């Protein structure tokens, strides 16, 4: 048995672990950051803010109109209450009422406009909420499939990690250090299987002697091109 056999088995486990972790990260990213769902949520958020502002403007205009009506009533009370008899003062009160009523008309127009905008913003909010609900319903099934896959992959990952611990326990610390360093330097692949007389990682053709050494040598044999440990089954 070659020296690289245990590391090759470990490489297979680590490669599968890396694949699963990459896929899990992609699934989580999709679940957390679905562009369509995020855009729909933003539309609802904006519609809620617009509706809040429109409703605030409606209440404010309504209060202003009511306040103006109270002022008119107070002045009319002075005009018709009999407490004021001076013709000049009565004339001034009439002029004030006319001015107040003119401003009241403007306030009522503003109130009506605010009411229309509030109704419009409420309709826009309801439409945005319904759109979000439809997207959530449609994506719910898609996301459920992703969640099911996520759970399955997580279970597989736990099994693989247990297998890795068992594989590592049978490998000498020095060999494991070499393996870990090569994985960091060679994009996660430290051990390359010989296939069709070539390095399975970089494709370099290998001599018969080198292949024979990789198959039986008690020491690691490295690819002369990429520097990975060679394994021959």
pLDDT category of residue 1 using cuts at 50, 70 and 90: low
pLDDT digits (tens, 9 = 90+) for 68-92: 999 999 888 888 887 877 889 888 8
State the pLDDT at residue 176. 94
The structural domains of the chain, ordered by start, are 34-169 (1.10.287.1700), 173-231 (no CATH)
Over residues 188-213, the mean pLDDT reads 94
How is residue 196 annotated by DSSP?
Answer: T
Strand segments, DSSP code E, in the chain are 191-195, 198-199, 229-231
- pLDDT over 90 (residue 49): yes
pLDDT category of residue 138 using cuts at 50, 70 and 90: confident
Tokens matching residue 78: 């002075």
pLDDT category of residue 54 using cuts at 50, 70 and 90: very high
The two most distant CA atoms of the chain are separated, in Å, by 128
Q: What does the mean pLDDT of the chain come to? A: 91
Query: Beta 229-231 vs 198-199: how paired, if at all?
Result: unpaired
| Residues whose CB is less than 8 angstroms from the CB of residue 183 and which lie 6 or more positions away in sequence, other chains included | 14, 189, 190
State the pLDDT at residue 11. 94
- pLDDT over 60 (residue 56): yes
| Residue whose token pair is 């109109």 | 65
Kindly list the strands in the beta sheet with 191-195, ordered across the sheet, starting from the edge strand earlier in the chain.
Answer: 198-199, 191-195, 229-231
- pLDDT over 80 (residue 3): no
- pLDDT over 80 (residue 2): no
Over residues 191-197, the mean pLDDT reads 95
Q: What is the pTM of this model?
A: 0.57
- pLDDT over 60 (residue 24): yes
How is residue 170 annotated by DSSP?
Answer: T
pLDDT category of residue 37 using cuts at 50, 70 and 90: confident
State the pLDDT at residue 40. 92
The dihedral over CA atoms of 175, 180, 182, 185, expressed in degrees to the nearest 10, equals -160
How is residue 205 annotated by DSSP?
Answer: B
- pLDDT over 70 (residue 21): yes
Query: Of 35, 40, 23, which is closest to residue 146 (Cα–Cα)?
Result: 23
pLDDT digits (tens, 9 = 90+) for 140-156: 888 889 989 999 999 99
CA geometry: angle 65, 70, 76, nearest 5 deg: 125
């Amino acid at each position: 048995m070659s020296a690289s056999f245990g590391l090759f088995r470990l490489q297979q486990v680590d490669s599968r672990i890396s694949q699963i972790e990459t896929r899990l990260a992609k699934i989580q990213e999709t679940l957390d950051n679905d562009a369509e769902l995020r855009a729909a949520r933003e539309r609802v958020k904006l519609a809620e803010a617009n509706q809040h502002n429109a409703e605030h403007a409606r209440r404010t205009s309504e209060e202003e109109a009511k306040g103006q009506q109270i002022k008119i009533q107070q002045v009319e009370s002075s005009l018709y209450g009999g407490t004021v008899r001076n013709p000049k003062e009565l004339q001034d009160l009439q002029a004030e009422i006319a001015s107040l009523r003119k401003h009241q008309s403007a306030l009522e127009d503003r109130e009506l406009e605010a009411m229309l905008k509030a109704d419009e913003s409420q309709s826009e909010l309801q439409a945005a909420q319904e759109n979000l609900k439809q997207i959530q319903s449609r994506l719910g099934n898609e996301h459920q499939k992703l969640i099911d896959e996520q759970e399955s992959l997580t279970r597989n990952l736990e099994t693989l990690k247990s297998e890795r611990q068992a594989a590592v326990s049978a490998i000498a610390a020095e060999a494991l250090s070499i393996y870990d360093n090569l994985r960091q330097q060679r994009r996660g692949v430290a051990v390359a299987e010989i296939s069709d007389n070539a390095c399975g990682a970089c494709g370099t053709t290998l001599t018969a002697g080198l292949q024979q050494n990789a198959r039986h040598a008690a020491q690691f044999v490295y690819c002369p091109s990429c520097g990975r440990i060679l394994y021959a089954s």
